[in-house]
Amino acid sequence: MALFEDALIGWSTGTVVGVGAVLAAPLVLPVVGTILRPVAKGLVKGYFFLADAIQDGAVQTREEFGELTTEARTERAHTRPHFVSRSNARTRNGHKHGERTQRRAKPAHAAKRSAAAARVA
Protein backbone atom coordinates (compact mmCIF):
# COMPACT_ATOMS: atom_id res chain seq x y z
CA MET A 1 0.00 0.00 0.00
CA ALA A 2 2.88 2.27 0.71
CA LEU A 3 4.02 1.85 -2.86
CA PHE A 4 0.59 2.92 -4.15
CA GLU A 5 0.48 5.92 -1.77
CA ASP A 6 3.99 6.95 -2.76
CA ALA A 7 2.99 6.85 -6.43
CA LEU A 8 0.03 9.15 -5.81
CA ILE A 9 1.97 11.85 -3.93
CA GLY A 10 1.56 15.16 -5.75
CA TRP A 11 -1.63 14.12 -7.55
CA SER A 12 -4.83 15.85 -6.54
CA THR A 13 -8.04 14.01 -5.86
CA GLY A 14 -9.58 15.37 -9.09
CA THR A 15 -6.75 13.97 -11.15
CA VAL A 16 -7.17 10.52 -9.62
CA VAL A 17 -10.90 10.59 -10.24
CA GLY A 18 -10.35 11.71 -13.85
CA VAL A 19 -7.88 8.92 -14.55
CA GLY A 20 -10.28 6.42 -12.97
CA ALA A 21 -13.14 7.69 -15.13
CA VAL A 22 -11.08 7.37 -18.30
CA LEU A 23 -10.11 3.79 -17.40
CA ALA A 24 -13.67 2.81 -16.46
CA ALA A 25 -15.42 4.57 -19.37
CA PRO A 26 -15.21 1.70 -21.90
CA LEU A 27 -16.82 -0.63 -19.39
CA VAL A 28 -19.46 1.74 -17.98
CA LEU A 29 -20.57 3.83 -21.01
CA PRO A 30 -22.32 1.07 -22.97
CA VAL A 31 -24.42 0.17 -19.93
CA VAL A 32 -25.14 3.79 -19.05
CA GLY A 33 -25.84 4.56 -22.74
CA THR A 34 -28.51 1.87 -22.98
CA ILE A 35 -30.19 3.24 -19.86
CA LEU A 36 -29.88 6.98 -20.59
CA ARG A 37 -30.74 6.89 -24.32
CA PRO A 38 -34.51 6.30 -23.77
CA VAL A 39 -34.50 8.97 -21.04
CA ALA A 40 -32.83 11.51 -23.33
CA LYS A 41 -35.17 10.57 -26.18
CA GLY A 42 -38.20 11.08 -23.90
CA LEU A 43 -36.89 14.52 -22.87
CA VAL A 44 -36.50 15.57 -26.51
CA LYS A 45 -40.01 14.33 -27.34
CA GLY A 46 -41.37 16.21 -24.34
CA TYR A 47 -39.62 19.38 -25.51
CA PHE A 48 -41.15 19.07 -28.99
CA PHE A 49 -44.61 18.46 -27.53
CA LEU A 50 -44.29 21.50 -25.25
CA ALA A 51 -42.98 23.70 -28.09
CA ASP A 52 -45.92 22.71 -30.33
CA ALA A 53 -48.42 23.36 -27.55
CA ILE A 54 -46.96 26.81 -26.87
CA GLN A 55 -46.92 27.67 -30.58
CA ASP A 56 -50.55 26.56 -31.02
CA GLY A 57 -51.56 28.62 -27.99
CA ALA A 58 -49.80 31.69 -29.39
CA VAL A 59 -51.52 31.31 -32.78
CA GLN A 60 -54.92 30.90 -31.12
CA THR A 61 -54.33 33.94 -28.89
CA ARG A 62 -53.28 36.04 -31.89
CA GLU A 63 -56.44 35.05 -33.80
CA GLU A 64 -58.72 35.83 -30.86
CA PHE A 65 -57.03 39.19 -30.28
CA GLY A 66 -57.47 40.03 -33.97
CA GLU A 67 -61.17 39.20 -33.77
CA LEU A 68 -61.57 41.32 -30.63
CA THR A 69 -59.90 44.34 -32.21
CA THR A 70 -62.06 44.00 -35.33
CA GLU A 71 -65.23 43.83 -33.21
CA ALA A 72 -64.16 46.82 -31.14
CA ARG A 73 -63.39 48.91 -34.23
CA THR A 74 -66.74 47.99 -35.77
CA GLU A 75 -68.67 48.86 -32.61
CA ARG A 76 -66.77 52.12 -32.27
CA ALA A 77 -67.57 53.08 -35.84
CA HIS A 78 -71.30 52.42 -35.30
CA THR A 79 -71.62 54.12 -31.91
CA ARG A 80 -69.44 57.16 -32.57
CA PRO A 81 -71.49 60.24 -33.41
CA HIS A 82 -70.78 61.69 -36.80
CA PHE A 83 -69.30 65.13 -36.33
CA VAL A 84 -68.92 67.58 -39.14
CA SER A 85 -65.54 69.16 -39.03
CA ARG A 86 -65.48 72.90 -38.61
CA SER A 87 -63.77 73.33 -41.97
CA ASN A 88 -66.69 71.72 -43.83
CA ALA A 89 -69.55 73.08 -41.72
CA ARG A 90 -71.76 75.74 -43.26
CA THR A 91 -73.97 78.40 -41.76
CA ARG A 92 -77.70 78.63 -42.41
CA ASN A 93 -77.19 80.81 -45.45
CA GLY A 94 -74.67 78.40 -46.99
CA HIS A 95 -71.43 80.16 -46.11
CA LYS A 96 -68.55 78.47 -44.35
CA HIS A 97 -67.98 79.43 -40.73
CA GLY A 98 -65.60 82.34 -40.41
CA GLU A 99 -65.88 83.15 -44.08
CA ARG A 100 -66.43 86.83 -44.65
CA THR A 101 -69.03 87.61 -47.19
CA GLN A 102 -68.39 90.49 -49.49
CA ARG A 103 -71.03 93.12 -49.61
CA ARG A 104 -72.46 93.73 -52.98
CA ALA A 105 -71.31 96.87 -54.62
CA LYS A 106 -74.09 99.37 -55.07
CA PRO A 107 -75.12 100.00 -58.64
CA ALA A 108 -73.80 103.22 -60.13
CA HIS A 109 -77.22 104.92 -60.29
CA ALA A 110 -77.84 104.20 -56.55
CA ALA A 111 -74.55 105.85 -55.65
CA LYS A 112 -75.55 108.97 -57.61
CA ARG A 113 -78.92 109.14 -55.86
CA SER A 114 -77.41 108.93 -52.39
CA ALA A 115 -74.86 111.61 -53.26
CA ALA A 116 -77.62 113.90 -54.59
CA ALA A 117 -79.75 113.27 -51.50
CA ALA A 118 -76.84 114.18 -49.28
CA ARG A 119 -76.39 117.51 -51.11
CA VAL A 120 -80.03 118.44 -50.79
CA ALA A 121 -80.19 117.79 -47.11
Span 42-88, pLDDT tens digits: 999 999 999 999 999 999 999 999 999 999 999 888 876 665 555 55
Specify if 8 maps to a domain: no
| Identity of residue 71 | E
Q: What is the C-alpha to C-alpha distance for residues 29 and 42, in angstroms, rounded to an integer?
A: 19
When divided into structural domains, the chain yields a total of 1
Q: Is residue 101 part of a domain?
A: no
Q: Residue 74 sits in which domain range?
A: 13-96
Residue 110 confidence (pLDDT): 61
pLDDT for 78? 80
pLDDT of residue 25: 77
Gap between the Cα atoms of 47 and 39, Å rounded: 12
The pTM (predicted TM-score) of the whole model is 0.39
Domain-embedded: residue 65: yes
Model pLDDT, residue 64: 96
